[in-house]
Structure 1
Amino acid sequence: MTKYQTLLYYCYSTITDAEQFAADHLEFCKSLGLTGRIIVADEGLNGTVSGTAEACKAYMDAVHADERFAKTDFKIDDVDQPSFVKMHVRYKSEIVHSGLRDPNVINPQIQTGKHLEPKDFMEMKDRDDVVILDVRSNYEHSLGRFKNAVTLDIENFRDFPSKINELAKYKDKKILTYCTGGIKCEKASALLLHEGFKDVYQLHGGIIKYGKEAGGKDFEGKCYVFDNRLAVEVNHVNPVTISTCYNCGKQTDKMINCANPECNEHFTQCDECGWQMDGCCSDACKEHPRKRVYDGTGYYVKVPQPVNVSKKSKVQLAE
């Protein structure tokens, strides 16, 4: 029996007094013994949490029992140990930072691209009238991406709107967007429609669901994830490695964060260079006085958010 699980999910649904909800939700997650990272905004939830199979089931039951989040689609991974060390729940202006904050222009609750289940995405992706569009950041698609996908030179998803003009040549094509779990595609596809693209789709559940339900066929490399695993296998049909070591150029699919916290660059680094560079991307970072201790993983625990112990969680376990 699986001892631990990691849940990846999001839900666009209006939350009244979302800042208070975030404080209460943090307390609730800790009461279940979960670890993870959740973003709460007026527009909804975006999270990855990890814990025992029993705690994860209790959490999913509680979320689904709230009518605002009843349709939340959880992607579930069995893991050997929890994928986080701490539990963070933070209130922010968006559940994925895009800079597109006007709900009268971009609102995933009203309009997005057509959702494609993994098997339908797999069937459509190689057609001549289709363009596969990766809406993730550089460090994500450099580690892994769909074969023949169009990628954009963006450091963060908030850069995506500025790249729309580069996609104008594909306006007569069917645009199939994809990302890790689906959340970025909700706004990316909505923006494409707003900008005059007529035939826009998105991979429902993202790369993670595609790997589970379609075997990950033609996804080349690994998928970057935002927990201490950093990268996960997706393709169980025709896997290849496409990324190379930032320092020596040798083929590797190991993703790390630079040990210098003031750099914290995401990059691929082979084990040999990892130990030689002490988990850093450059000699300058290696000599930085605040350099963190490298343990071979390249993952570093963030400072925990304090709990407001005076508040009682508004999210209760389903009866």
Structure 2
Amino acid sequence: MLPVSRRPFSELQGLPFVHPVLNISTYLFTPLPDAAALRELLLERATTAGLKGTILIAEEGINMFLAGDADAVRGFVAELKRDTRFASLDPKESWSDHQPFRKMLVKVKNEIIRMNMPAIRPSAGRAPSVSPETLRRWLEQGQDDEGRPVVTLDTRNAFEVDQGTFDHAIDWRIDKFTEFPAALREHKAELEGKTVVSFCTGGIRCEKAAILMEEEGVQNVYQLEGGILKYFELTDGAHYSGGCFVFDERRVVDTALDEAPLKP
């Protein structure tokens, strides 16, 4: 039997929150020619709302990690989504008993996730995605709905993978995401004849990776929608071992999206 989708907070049971700080991770590839001008606006809004975290903006889009009072965090996102360019933002939520960021930073970058492949522009067209629930079903049955074997491809850095990953995931032991294109070209043959699901923490790296794989001629490529964090949020975490490295002072969260010990 498939698990019932769940939300990682006790609001659904009408109980008070166990952890008072809402953490969100979200990104969106959308053209932002005014990225530099947005910096001051977003910094002022976030600071006024009492939020802490990091927002990266570039001409290709936005990438956010924020934490604070739940109403303030959700209000900030709601205000941002009034700009039609950000309307499809879909944050991943988790909770903590402390503020995991020390300050509020808004930075303008050349890329919101560095790949050094300027021709890869997700805003111009995404690779197909697969929902967490569907991936769990595929992994449970050992094949996709067409009968092809399914492999998961971890696009994260090796130190992140060492904290936890999908069972039997392909791991090319890259030290930074800019190494992914070369690793793909070296190992592309091992993906032939399989359905390949690329994944990462929240979806941003595997989105670029899936597009690159398609352009390099890999067939039957998908990206895991929302990454590992959304998989933890919407499934029971089956077929995943360990935790997920996150980019705040919690360092690692488990499949219930609670803070977990960092492996040595």
TM-score (norm 2): 0.86
The answer for the alignment partner of 2:261 in structure 1 is: 254
SS in 1 for 2:50: coil
Of the three residues 191, 211, 216, the one matched with 1:195 is 216
Q: Distance in 1 between matches of 2:191 and 2:78?
A: 42
Structure of larger gyration radius: 1
The answer for the alignment partner of 1:146 in structure 2 is: 166
Q: Distance in 2 between matches of 1:110 and 1:40?
A: 17
Q: Is the 8 A contact 1:217 1:235 kept in 2?
A: no
Q: Distance in 1 between matches of 2:192 and 2:82?
A: 41
The answer for the alignment partner of 2:251 in structure 1 is: 230
Q: Distance in 1 between matches of 2:172 and 2:261?
A: 22
Farther off after superposition, 197-206 or 186-195: 197-206
Query: Residue type matched to 2:261 in 1?
Result: K
The answer for the alignment partner of 2:62 in structure 1 is: 45
The answer for the alignment partner of 2:231 in structure 1 is: 210
Instruction: Give 1:32 shift.
Output: 0.7
The answer for the alignment partner of 2:4 in structure 1 is: none
The answer for the alignment partner of 2:240 in structure 1 is: 219
The answer for the alignment partner of 2:128 in structure 1 is: 114
Q: Distance in 1 between matches of 2:152 and 2:231?
A: 14
Structure 1: where are the runs of 5+ without partners?
A: 237-252, 256-267, 270-319
Query: Residue type matched to 1:157 in 2?
Result: F
- Higher RCO structure (Cα 8 Å, ≥6 apart): 2
Query: Residue type matched to 1:108 in 2?
Result: P
Instruction: Give 1:64 shift.
Output: 1.6
Instruction: Give 1:209 shift.
Output: 0.8
SS in 2 for 1:109: helix
Runs of 4+ in 1 over 3 A off after TM superposition: none
The answer for the alignment partner of 2:46 in structure 1 is: 29
Once the two structures are superposed, residues 2-42 of structure 1 have per-residue CA deviations (whole angstroms, 9 ceiling, x without a partner) of: 33200110011111221121232112211111000111000
The answer for the alignment partner of 2:195 in structure 1 is: 174
Instruction: Give 1:101 shift.
Output: 1.4
The answer for the alignment partner of 1:135 in structure 2 is: 155
Instruction: Give 1:235 shift.
Output: 6.0
SS in 2 for 1:220: strand
Q: Is 1:163 equivalent to 2:183 in the alignment?
A: yes
RMSD in angstroms over aligned alpha carbons?
Answer: 1.5
Of the three residues 57, 63, 67, the one matched with 2:80 is 63
Q: Distance in 2 between matches of 1:219 and 1:69?
A: 31
Which runs of structure 2 are paired with 1:81-92 in the superposition (5 Å)?
81-92=98-109
Query: Residue type matched to 2:40 in 1?
Result: A
Q: Is the 8 A contact 1:207 1:234 kept in 2?
A: no
Q: Distance in 2 between matches of 1:23 and 1:156?
A: 29
Aligned residue pairs total 238
Q: Distance in 1 between matches of 2:82 and 2:248?
A: 26
Query: Residue type matched to 1:14 in 2?
Result: P
Q: Is the 8 A contact 1:130 1:174 kept in 2?
A: yes
TM-score (norm 1): 0.72
Q: Is 1:183 equivalent to 2:228 in the alignment?
A: no
